[in-house]
Structure 1
């Protein structure tokens, strides 16, 4: 029995759904199924009763879930202990950041951090939340700026920071490009390029929620993962896109950004949070968190 197989088993046992567990672990369902099959073969027992419609634990599965969680928790605690010991010698702060934070937040924080901690090197991993969380929990990152998940994770300490407003990205020669602001009703029939939900659930959902709040349905013509690709399509007149306000900083020829007048309501904005593992003190991480707290009012003015 391997630790990776055990983690896969626990994810499926908690979700009772192979697809949801695979998405949580950022792996293909076929690969997840292979890990479970190998685990069952190594233990010579069935852990799940599977049908086309449901997944349920066997008696052996319930026992392994109970004991397996204890094993994983002990391994995680042991890893955390040695990571902390290594951190005292490494003098490196490893930061994960979604694109929004990597472009609009982290660069604003680094000068103050380097002044406060001149002997600490900073490494930045820019990625999506779904890819950053496993790295954070495995100890590859010390902290991460992420889109908060709907359900809290007991391994993580998460601090909400702010909600980012959204804007309309539109081709510069489109009639809406000359407007100071638009309403959802103004773009009711506009072809839209939207992030795929599996890759960027928050960005996808904010478009849907904006239209739902107005009693309308978005005219989605293309699903795309990466924001730069979305902007390229906007420039090529494929359609418009609802994007975080920080995207207006990206130098994209032939694209204009227009304020969206959607009234009040935080549900129409994108949440940003910072997360780290556990509650143990870490001098470098805590120094950056203090700077975040000090700079938050300025950051809110920039992004909200």
Structure 2
């Protein structure tokens, strides 16, 4: 096809041969073999001129497209193999969707424009299963015990817990909340099943208080917890990033335990068959390092 296109554009075997860095004899042989394969004459030639036949003129346009498509296909395959191009499926918990994941995807769109990222919001347990099944490539999730040795992880976020309270609450004037301040207060806790990570983390904070708050509701998601706080049903301990939800009439204050922190990990499969995943994971790691 390259030989045919060169002759079709130059309409001169000598110039076409020079363009292809070959001699006229093998070029003529290539054209003859192509005509024999197709069963049509592509050129009318004599000692003075070379002209395309009607069949040759029709083939020339298609040949250019075929050659361009072949080149594009090869280039695409190479770029995908290097991870420059491709698709990455990313799982994330609801809290990661407040700021971390949107900002990361925005920066990745600038730095890795040929990698398409698709987002899937799901709880940590579901992300682990999805990683093992290969239905997602990366996940932003809470720490897990007995992690699969094939999974790699990097700390993405470490943030303190804050007390969320309705505006006008008696504790609103405090700059920091002490353990005694929560004594007997109505309290919105995370579910022991769907919100187990925060349930256990908050439980470890409250375990050292002489008189813990009074649990009135248990919810699985942070935005649901904050919604109940806004309604005046109680106070709650939530990750500091919950402030980015911008619930009106809800205030946040740091607590006495800055050492107890909510962690979010970036986790991926070490033995991934998706080169774009490795490239994106490296980019995400660098982004997290800059953010830290």
Q: TM-score, normalised by structure 2?
A: 0.66
Distance 1:181 1:159 in 2: 31
Instruction: Give the secondary structure class of the aligned counterpart of 1:197.
Output: coil
Residue 159 (structure 1) aligned with residue 154 (structure 2): yes
Calculate the aligned-residue CA RMSD, in Å.
2.5
Match runs of 1:1-304 below 5 Å: 91-263=86-258, 268-280=260-272, 282-297=274-289, 299-300=291-292
Distance 2:110 2:158 in 1: 28
Asked whether the equivalents of residues 83 and 279 of structure 2 are also in contact (C-alpha less than 8 Å), the reply is no
Instruction: Give the secondary structure class of the aligned counterpart of 1:175.
Output: coil
**Displacement of 1:115:** 2.2
Instruction: Give the secondary structure class of the aligned counterpart of 2:98.
Output: helix
**Displacement of 1:136:** 1.5
Distance 2:288 2:84 in 1: 30
| Structure 2 residues not aligned, in runs of 5+ | 1-79
**Displacement of 1:86:** 10
Distance 2:117 2:266 in 1: 16
The 1:192–1:116 alpha-carbon spacing in structure 2 relative to 1, beyond 3 Å, is same
Distance 2:126 2:149 in 1: 18
**Displacement of 1:215:** 4.7
Asked whether the equivalents of residues 164 and 235 of structure 2 are also in contact (C-alpha less than 8 Å), the reply is yes
Distance 2:161 2:244 in 1: 13
Q: TM-score, normalised by structure 1?
A: 0.64
Asked whether the equivalents of residues 90 and 120 of structure 2 are also in contact (C-alpha less than 8 Å), the reply is yes
Asked whether the equivalents of residues 92 and 122 of structure 1 are also in contact (C-alpha less than 8 Å), the reply is yes
Instruction: Give the secondary structure class of the aligned counterpart of 1:209.
Output: helix
Distance 1:159 1:184 in 2: 32
Moved more, 206-215 or 219-228: 206-215
Task: Judging by fraction of residues, say which structure has more helix.
Answer: 1
The 1:259–1:136 alpha-carbon spacing in structure 2 relative to 1, beyond 3 Å, is same
Asked whether the equivalents of residues 112 and 291 of structure 1 are also in contact (C-alpha less than 8 Å), the reply is no
